[in-house]
Chain A
Amino acid sequence: MSELLVVPALLAYGEAAFAYVGELRGPGLAGRLATWGVRLGWLAQTALLVGQAASAEGFPWGTWAGSLNLFVWLVVGAYLIWGCTPRYRLLGLTVMPVAAALLALAWAGGGTAVEDGARSGAVLAVHVALMLAGFAGLTLAAAMAALYLWQERRLKRHERGVLRVRVPPLDALDRLAARTVLGSLALLTLGIGVGAARFHRGDFDVAMAVTLGVWATYASLLVLRHEGWRGRRAALLNLAGFMLVAIVLPLTHFAS
């Protein structure tokens, strides 16, 4: 029964995605509707995940679709930390359409079903949860980078309407993206460390290689910031790192 909660979650995320487009015209009702869509959708998805966890004997999100479901929840949860403030509201314009689409995909792939999960050890569950949380944070950072590049382009081109849309300030986006990358990298490092405890010689595969590539890319982003790689360059490197994240997630399930 609780798997039906995916419907309100999906509807609320979809509503939020459309309402954020309305927010582009100016702050007001659309923005508040969007925020409430995110909140209610996230609560519905939380209840769904609790239902899945309660019914499963093992880790209930071991399949690609299940992982996707958990991943979307983590992304939206991370977005909720900043997204509810009017200043960062437009970040939802880049986050919520992706979240709604991925949740729909997870649903179609059976990742929202409530059933007995495959038995898995606690170490694996912690590893997967940490990795997904890290990737969720990096996804949010990529959304900030995309918003940065969009607004920077508008400012550079002297667009007449540059002040009409309430986009977060460039410098704030740059700093927040860097802080988000730092937090996500810490989670990723922990996840890799926990995974290394189960590592056997011969287990190394493409997914692990790309994961290490993700880690190295974001670590270099943080190091290079001190050398002056901020703003546009940092945003581009951030998006390049996210390309690897987008590759590693399916690789984990389909190429291992």
Chain B
Amino acid sequence: MSVLALVGVSHHRTPIELRERVALDLEACRALAQRLGGAVVLSTCNRTELYLEREENAEDEAVAAITELAGDRSQDLAAALYRLRDDGAALHLFRVAAGLDSLVPGEGEILGQVRSAFEAGEPGPLLDRLFRQALHTGRRVRIETAIGESPASVPSAAAALAQQVFGELNGRRVLLLGAGKISEATARNLVSRGAEIAVVANRTIAHGEDLARKLDARALALDAVAAELEHVDVVVSATSAAGVVVSRATVAHALRVRKGRPLLLVDLAVPRDLDPAINGLEGCFLYDVDDLRAVVEETLSGRRSEAARAERLVTDEAERFREWHAALDIVPTIASLRALAEEIRDSELARAGGRLSETERRHVESVTSQILAKLLHLPTIRMKEAAAAADGVVYADVVRHLFGLGEEERRR
């Protein structure tokens, strides 16, 4: 039976200088998997892992393949490698797919990366089953727990709040005040959820135009934003202005034209750009950077408590995989036993065939087939149960001995 080996490095105990030596893009992962055969290579910014299935020496081959990537640091890498086999490797991959082994527990990107690695890999039957079940586990954890729902950064919290107010962000228009890195990160988070960056307003209009071009938006001077408030759904502000950029009166005027449509304002600047009194206006929701940090802290603690539930689901799935894998020991024996029974039945039917009419022959065939099925049902179930309980090999040997399975082949 094939064994499974996993060899890899991750952010847990390997510094980035070493991780980057073995980091591979998807094409390189594909090439390595093709060269090795029966392999899947998973490489992200936090880990590089090689999964290999072999009849023997899987672990040694995997270690050799991955240390080779590190070049002159191969010895350092060898010391940092973790090595897991069969059930341990499966449990690890399921935890990875569920986001439980990530830097931020429950982050969603890893599931897509596992899928890409699987699609780029060269899996044999064992790895094929393992990765399919890992993807199922990752999806299950995200559906059945809230681990991936809560945002883990201030920009993603701003985007999640926008979804809490508007639902789907497709077609929602965003006004960016300021063209710095924070504005851009938040804008990209909103765009990834379907929002459209309509306007980038900046004191230095040339900087605003640069970002506007990247985001397919319109650039505007900072003092011309009042009219835009009537048309957008979300305002993200992160300028370096010393005072208030948008006053309560400006927003109140815009609200009269908006006819009750809600407006979410996110103020990421220190000192604040948006008048805090705006939050008192009906239909307006104003969040500053401290509010968002508090939301993130709360959701991260929520993620940690959800992680315990996710671990239980992952353990269940790993147990299912272990049972399936263990049952592979017994499958050839069950197949041989059934083949032997069928062979005896066929030869006896052939001998009696001449004495039976067509109707009688069909009747006897049906009856003997049912007898075989009933007779072999319980032993089959019991052998599979024994395999799941790790006694499978012993049972398989006993059955082979009792029924003389394989002796014919050996004699030949």
Contact = CB atoms under 8 A, between A and B. Distances in A.
A171 B165 contact: yes
A169 B167 contact: yes
A158 B291 contact: yes
Nearest to B162: A169
Interface in B155-184: 157, 160-161, 163-167
A167 B163 CA distance: 11
B161 A163 contact: yes
A172 B167 contact: yes
B150 A231 contact: no
A228 B260 CA distance: 5
Interface in B272-327: 279, 282-283, 285, 287, 291, 294-295, 297-299, 302, 306, 309
Nearest to A227: B259
Nearest to B257: A228
Contacts of B166: 169-171
Contacts of B282: 231-233
B283 A232 contact: yes
Contacts of B262: 170-171, 230-231
Nearest to A170: B165
Interface in B252-279: 258-262, 279
Nearest to B302: A164
A172 B167 CA distance: 6
Contact of A160 (B151, B283, B295, B306): B295
Interface stretch (B60-68, B71-79, B141-149, B381-389): B141-149
A160 B294 contact: yes
Contacts of A228: 258-260
A155 interface: yes
B302 A229 contact: no
A231 B165 CA distance: 11
A163 B306 CA distance: 14
Contact of A169 (B163, B260, B279, B287): B163
A170 B263 CA distance: 11
B295 A162 contact: yes
A28 B167 contact: no
A2 B217 CA distance: 65
Interface string A165-196: 01111111000000000000000000000000
B100 to A, nearest CB: 16
Nearest to B284: A156
A155 B166 CA distance: 13
Contacts of A51: none
Nearest to A151: B164
A164 B299 contact: yes
B148 to A, nearest CB: 11
Q: Which secondary structure dominates chain A's binding surface?
A: loop
A166 B302 CA distance: 13
Contact of B260 (A151, A168, A231): A231
A156 B285 contact: yes
Nearest to B283: A231
Given A27-B146, A156-B285, A230 B294 contact: no
A121 interface: no
Contact of A166 (B146, B161, B287): B146
Contacts of A172: 167
Nearest to B290: A158
A161 interface: yes
Contacts of A225: 260
Nearest to B297: A160
Contacts of B143: 27
Given A158-B291, A163-B150, A164-B302, A230 B164 contact: no
B284 to A, nearest CB: 9
Contacts of A166: 146, 149
B145 A160 contact: no
A163 B167 contact: no
A171 B294 contact: no
B205 to A, nearest CB: 33
B151 A163 contact: yes
B311 to A, nearest CB: 14
Interface string A18-31: 00000000111100
Contacts of A227: 259
Contacts of B298: 160-161, 163-164
A73 B161 CA distance: 35
Contacts of A28: 144-146, 309
A230 B261 CA distance: 7
A233 B261 CA distance: 12
A167 B164 contact: yes
Given A26-B302, A163-B295, A230-B260, A156 B164 contact: no
Given A28-B309, A229-B260, 16 more contacts: A29-B144, A155-B285, A156-B279, A161-B302, A163-B150, A163-B161, A163-B299, A164-B150, A169-B167, A170-B164, A170-B262, A171-B167, A172-B167, A231-B282, A232-B283, A233-B282
> 7 nearest interchain CB pairs?
A230-B260, A169-B167, A228-B259, A160-B298, A228-B260, A26-B146, A158-B291
Interface of A: 26-29, 151, 155-156, 158, 160-164, 166-172, 225-234
16 contacts: A27-B145, A27-B146, A28-B144, A28-B146, A28-B309, A156-B285, A160-B297, A161-B302, A163-B150, A168-B167, A170-B164, A171-B166, A229-B260, A230-B283, A231-B282, A232-B283
